[in-house]
């Protein structure tokens, strides 16, 4: 892609939008950025872009801004069906996302990992495994560092491991990962995708450009994921914690194995896994499989898994106060993620639920709530909807804010109980991000511990 003197528009000034604008400018494009947020909320980003000669539009998207562009790069937070983008495509303008832009320039193989849950943990683990295998490795995408930022760091032998969201997959064109993995698919982001079928189809785009010398990795235990097998054109490998597979990673007895037809390799005993919960066993199986496909040796994979630390905001132990354990799973932004968090504890849970609703059905939680949860503390904009759908399954305390929820839970919980933030919702009603929400939860818990120690 020749960018010199091309007119390029970047829509959305998140991390990937800023990185895309700076990259395009560095390649000689004439760059404009447009964001609907007011100027006051984007002061730092604006100053950085202006220093590099990028034109900035804030407070809305002007129709004229979108006309006559050679390339439009859309940030993941911007709906692909926004009127200006529909009109741009109708006029023949090229509209892509930052992931597609990066893929045009990254010189080495790409590993792309998506799924409703477990993406960040698995992406981080895969990065650790491949690095332990002594391969040049970069880790980013939806996990933090935009893929476009890696172009100048990567070489032909560098494996770029990317967490990819459904929003990012909406805007690909020729994106072709060497290894594409779908961990699971459960209802999420229906406020944006409208239907579950649309969401599934967005996830399936991760392997649509692969060829016979590439690899697709699917979860054999997840029906929605397994149903995509007929669409795969690459070499298909499975991971499963429930059954043995002919090609892929699986559990037999108390050990993890990699199998490829008649060839079987023992990787490690389950007793050595450092991560809590059945869902994390699935994440490890996916990591073992991908690492093996890259060429890592069993002892290297085993060491990387043994030493892997849980990712922040993913079932993260925060503290123990008066015999009560506090866990931060702020990344549990959908119902299925909350189910996985609840399944990690046998009983006596005080659960904090709520935030910005994404069109979810919270009644799915009711059986687990009855079995394992002492009390639910509801917060945020979705509180009333959640309360109406789980009423009768557990005691409910309308807490409104996270501060109130932590305080009320700490007053009610007794030694041996667990206070769990696993909200099943997005964070954007009261917080800037799930990370912001998780950090606030940890601050509140640590303040509580300090107060009780004085």
Catalytic-role residue among 25, 61, 119, 442: 119
Predicted confidence (pLDDT) per residue in 350-409, tens digit: 999 999 999 999 999 999 999 999 999 999 999 999 999 999 999 999 999 999 999 999
Q: Could you tell me if 11 and 72 are in contact, meaning their C-beta atoms sit under 8 angstroms apart?
A: yes
Of how many residues is the chain composed? 454
187 burial type by CB count under 10 A (0-12 exposed, 13-18 middle, 19+ buried): buried
What share of the chain has pLDDT > 90, as a percent? 84
Model-wide pTM > 0.85: no
pLDDT score recorded for residue 192: 79
Structure tokens at 170: 């909406």
Distance CA 405, CA 427 (A): 15
Q: Is the pLDDT of residue 76 over 90?
A: no
* CA-atom Rg of the chain in angstroms: 23
pLDDT at 453 over 90: no
pLDDT of 312 > 90? The answer is no
Mean pLDDT of 110-128: 95
The domain locations on the chain are 7-98, 106-306, 316-453
Confidence band of 11 (pLDDT split at 50, 70, 90) = very high
pLDDT at 278 over 90: no
Task: Pinpoint the alpha helices (H) of 141-188.
Answer: 166-169
Four-residue CA torsion sign, 154, 109, 202, 209: positive
pLDDT of res. 454: 61
At residue 452, does pLDDT exceed 80?
A: no
Residue 189, pLDDT score: 76
Smallest Cα–Cα separation from 9: which of 131, 93, 117, 92?
93
Angle, in degrees to the nearest 10, between helices 402-412 and 434-453: 40
CATH of domain 316-453: 3.90.190.20
Per-residue pLDDT at 124: 95
Of 25, 61, 117, 142, the catalytic one is: 142
Q: Identify the pLDDT of residue 61.
A: 85
Given the residues 61, 178, 189, 303, the one annotated as active site: 189
As a whole number of Å, the end-to-end CA separation of the chain is 62
pLDDT at res. 105: 97
| Known catalytic residue at 25 | no
The reply to whether CATH 3.40.50.720 applies to domain 7-98 is yes
Interhelix angle 15-26/98-105, nearest 10 degrees: 40
Say which CATH class 106-306 falls into.
alpha beta
Who contacts 421 (Cβ-Cβ below 8 Å, separation ≥6)? 327, 328, 329, 330, 332, 352, 402, 437, 438, 441
Mean pLDDT, residues 170-174 taken together: 94
Q: How confident is the model at residue 342 (pLDDT cuts 50, 70, 90)?
A: very high
H or E stretch at 160: strand 159-163
Q: Is 52 a catalytic residue?
A: no
Q: Comparing 23-32, 237-246, 444-453, which segment has the lowest mean pLDDT?
A: 444-453
**What is the structure's pLDDT at 449?**
86
Active site residue 283: no
Kindly report which listed range (9-23, 241-255, 270-284) carries the lowest average pLDDT score.
270-284
Over 90: is that where the pLDDT of 424 sits? yes
Strand partners of residue 160 = 110, 138
Q: How confident is the model at residue 272 (pLDDT cuts 50, 70, 90)?
A: very high
In this predicted structure, the answer to whether residue 442 has a pLDDT above a threshold of 90 is yes
Q: What is the mean pLDDT of the chain?
A: 94
- Angstrom distance (rounded) from CA 53 to CA 56: 9
What pLDDT, on the 0 to 100 scale, is given for residue 279?
85
At residue 127 the predicted structure's pLDDT band, cuts being 50, 70 and 90, is very high
* Exposure class string for 14-26: b at 16+ Cβ within 10 A, else e: bbbbbbbbbbbbe
Confidence of residue 410 (pLDDT cuts 50, 70, 90): very high
The pLDDT tens digits of the residues spanning 131-166 come to 999 999 999 998 889 999 999 999 999 999 999 999
Residue 307, pLDDT score: 94
**Whether the predicted pLDDT of 81 surpasses 90:** no
Angle between helices 278-294 and 119-132 (to 10 degrees): 40
């Amino acid at each position: 892609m020749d960018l010199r003197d091309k007119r390029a528009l970047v829509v959305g000034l998140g991390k990937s939008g800023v990185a895309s604008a700076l990259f395009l400018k560095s390649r000689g494009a004439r760059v404009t950025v447009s964001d609907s947020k007011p100027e006051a909320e984007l002061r730092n980003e604006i100053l950085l872009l202006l220093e590099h000669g990028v034109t900035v539009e804030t407070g809305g998207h002007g129709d004229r801004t979108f006309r006559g562009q050679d390339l439009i790069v859309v940030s993941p937070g911007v709906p692909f069906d926004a009127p200006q983008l529909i009109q741009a495509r109708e006029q023949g303008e090229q509209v892509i996302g930052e992931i597609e832009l990066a893929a045009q320039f990254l010189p080495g193989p790409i590993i792309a990992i998506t799924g409703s849950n477990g993406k960040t943990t698995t992406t981080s683990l895969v990065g650790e495994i491949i690095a332990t295998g002594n391969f040049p490795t970069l880790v980013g995408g939806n996990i933090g560092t935009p893929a476009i930022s890696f172009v100048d760091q990567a070489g032909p032998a560098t494996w770029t491991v990317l967490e990819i969201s459904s929003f990012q997959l909406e805007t690909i064109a020729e994106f072709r990962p060497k290894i594409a993995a779908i961990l699971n698919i459960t209802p999420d982001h229906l406020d944006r995708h409208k239907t579950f079928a649309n969401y599934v189809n967005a996830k399936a785009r991760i392997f649509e450009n692969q060829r016979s010398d590439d690899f697709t990795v699917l979860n054999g235990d997840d029906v929605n994921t397994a149903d995509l097998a007929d669409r795969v054109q690459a070499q298909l490998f499975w991971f499963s914690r429930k059954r043995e597979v002919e090609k892929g990673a699986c559990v037999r007895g108390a050990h993890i194995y990699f199998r490829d037809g008649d060839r079987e390799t023992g990787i490690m005993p389950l007793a050595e896994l450092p991560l809590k919960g059945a869902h994390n066993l699935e994440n490890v199986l996916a990591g073992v499989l991908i690492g093996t496909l890259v060429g890592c040796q069993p002892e290297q994979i085993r060491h990387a898994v043994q030493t892997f630390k849980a990712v922040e905001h993913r079932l993260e132990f925060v503290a123990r106060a008066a015999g009560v354990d506090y866990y931060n799973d702020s990344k549990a932004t959908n119902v299925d993620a909350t189910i996985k968090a609840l399944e990690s504890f046998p009983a006596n849970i005080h659960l904090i639920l709520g935030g910005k609703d994404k069109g979810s059905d919270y009644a799915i939680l009711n059986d687990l709530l009855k079995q394992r949860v002492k009390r639910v503390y509801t917060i945020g904009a979705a509180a009333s909807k959640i309360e109406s759908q789980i009423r009768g399954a557990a005691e409910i305390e309308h807490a409104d804010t996270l501060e109130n929820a932590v305080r009320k839970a700490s007053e009610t919980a007794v030694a041996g109980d667990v206070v769990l933030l696993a909200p099943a919702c997005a964070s954007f009603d009261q917080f800037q991000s799930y990370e912001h929400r998780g950090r606030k939860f940890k601050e509140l818990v640590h303040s509580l511990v300090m107060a009780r120690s004085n």
